[in-house]
Amino acid sequence: MRFRDRVDAGRRMAEHLGHLRAEDTVVVGLPRGGVPVAAEIAAALGAPLDIVLVRKIGAPHRQELAVGAIGEDGVTVRNETVLAELGLSWSDLDAQVKRERAEIDRRATTLRPGPRPSLRDRTVVLVDDGIATGATVVAAIRVTRRLGARRIVLAVPVAPADTVERLCDIADEVVCGLAPNRFLAVGQWYDDFRQVRDEEVRELLAVSAKDSRGSPPGEAIEEPVVVAGRLPGELSVPANPAGVVVFAHGSGSGRGSPRNRVVAGSLYEAGFGTVLVDLLDEAEVGDRAKVFDIELLASRLRAAVTLVRDDPRLAGLPIGLFGASTGAAAALRAAAAPDVKVSAVVSRGGRPDLAGDALPAVDAPTLLIVGGRDEQVLMWNTEAREQMRCRADVTIVRGASHLFEEPGALQQVARLAVSWFEEHLGTPR
């Protein structure tokens, strides 16, 4: 059996997905070839259509051989077996990785006609026009899980039988039209396997998005909240936010921290909701053991994230964490918890080193902002970055001390935080 083209493949795949509920489902295609297939599935299910951006990393001089893949939100997938066989380390591929990340950024800007639909707590049908090694699909699954998908159904017209078997352990469900034992290339199973152009992807996404346009804007929210039954906080959300950022204060400070309020104000103006909450009560603030109890702070921060996630007015919004000092360690330890699923982390003058063995488990892209004059903290941040497997950038604010009290320093921190969350949470709708 062969497919006439990608549209034919999409229609045939849709017949196997009728058990999914449209109101609970988002269809996501891998550009460019997976999008025409995904568009037919989305139309058949009456579900929204989006894309997930991933790029294969090929072996030097053998680009068709995947040694890994990268995706949106800083996701990296390495095939350690192939790397070892070729005698390569991931650092040998730095130039290629940088080029492919730039291509992901370009496509995110040029292909999507608007903000991506929320995947939080939804069933996501992840679609490509076929799979060979599966490296890019694994990266796409990781991106999708990071965006909060509750269940991932991988739908592909054709893939090698052994690859399908392996992917069954990664996705929640795999639907494959053809799974031959002898497999040379995806194109051999299509009569028409021409290259899909960017313009076609944009048009398919725009047509799918047309039905959702014109929805009434949401209302702004300004109200007090209580975390863990007793810790006071403040929830501030503009109309139609791009996401919500939960603040983790450090060194015994709380929701009244003037520095965090400056950053929170900039995030609000940029279209992000914010949650400022005390992580310690009045009796605990003066207890240095509690101030440095990272697990205690992280558990209360997780409770604040749960409060946001369970609020029906904020359903589906991506969540970010902003931590300062010991709060940065709490944010990273919270982000490492498998049930939290935050989309990005920013640290200001933080102590990420105190997150300890949680650092390698963090998969949310992390920005570590350090003052140029804060040499000891810069060393701790650099060492922590080396232990992290996700995208982790250290950015130095020149001339700034630990508290960023110098003129313009805190405003620069705010701009960096806004830019990072816009990249990884999205821009206002």
Could you state, in order of their start, the residue ranges of all structural domains in the chain?
6-212, 221-424
* Per-residue confidence (pLDDT) for residue 218, from 0 to 100: 63
Q: What is the pLDDT of residue 236?
A: 94
Report pLDDT for 429.
46
Q: Say whether 322 sits in a helix, a strand or coil.
A: strand
Handedness of CA 199, 205, 210, 216 (dihedral sign): negative
Strand partners, 227: 231
Neighbours of 186 (CB within 10 A): 19
The reported pLDDT for the residue numbered 117 is 74
Burial class (CB in 10 A: 0-12, 13-18, 19+), 212: exposed
Q: Assess contact for 301 and 293: CB atoms under 8 A.
A: no
Which residues in the chain show pLDDT less than 50? 212-217, 429
Nearest in space to 149 (alpha carbons), one of 108, 110, 180, 118: 118
What was the pLDDT predicted at 206?
A: 83
- What confidence score (pLDDT) does residue 115 get? 66
3-class DSSP assignment, residue 392: strand
Query: What pLDDT was estimated at residue 215?
Result: 41
Which CATH superfamily hosts domain 221-424? Alpha/Beta hydrolase fold, catalytic domain (3.40.50.1820)
Which of 34, 424, 152, 37 lies closest to 267 in space, CA to CA? 424
Question: Please, what is the angle between helix 94-111 and helix 198-209, to 10°?
Answer: 50
**Cα 131 to Cα 345: distance, rounded to the nearest angstrom:** 32
> By CB neighbour count within 10 A (0-12 exposed, 13-18 middle, 19+ buried), where does 384 fall?
buried
Instruction: Let me know: does 61 contact 41? Beta carbons within 8 Å.
Output: no
Asked whether 129 and 156 are in contact (CB, 8 A), the reply is: yes
- Please return the burial class of 364, using the count of CB atoms within 10 Å of its CB with bins 0-12, 13-18 and 19+: buried
Tell me the CATH class for 6-212. Answer: alpha beta
Q: Do domains 6-212 and 221-424 have the same CATH topology?
A: yes
How confident is the model at residue 428, as a pLDDT?
A: 57
How far apart (Å, rounded) are the C-alpha atoms in residues 30 and 49? Answer: 11
Report the C-alpha gap between 364 and 367 in whole angstroms. 10
First CA to last CA across the chain, in angstroms?
A: 44
Which pLDDT belongs to residue 77? 78
Burial letters for 389-399: b for 16+ Cβ neighbours within 10 Å, e otherwise?
A: ebbbebeebee
Judged by phi (left if over 0) then psi (alpha if -120 to 50, else beta), residue 177 lies in alpha
Query: Could you give the CA distance from residue 111 to residue 7 in angstroms, rounded to a whole number?
Result: 19
Q: What is the C-alpha to C-alpha distance for residues 245 and 264, in angstroms, rounded to an integer? A: 8
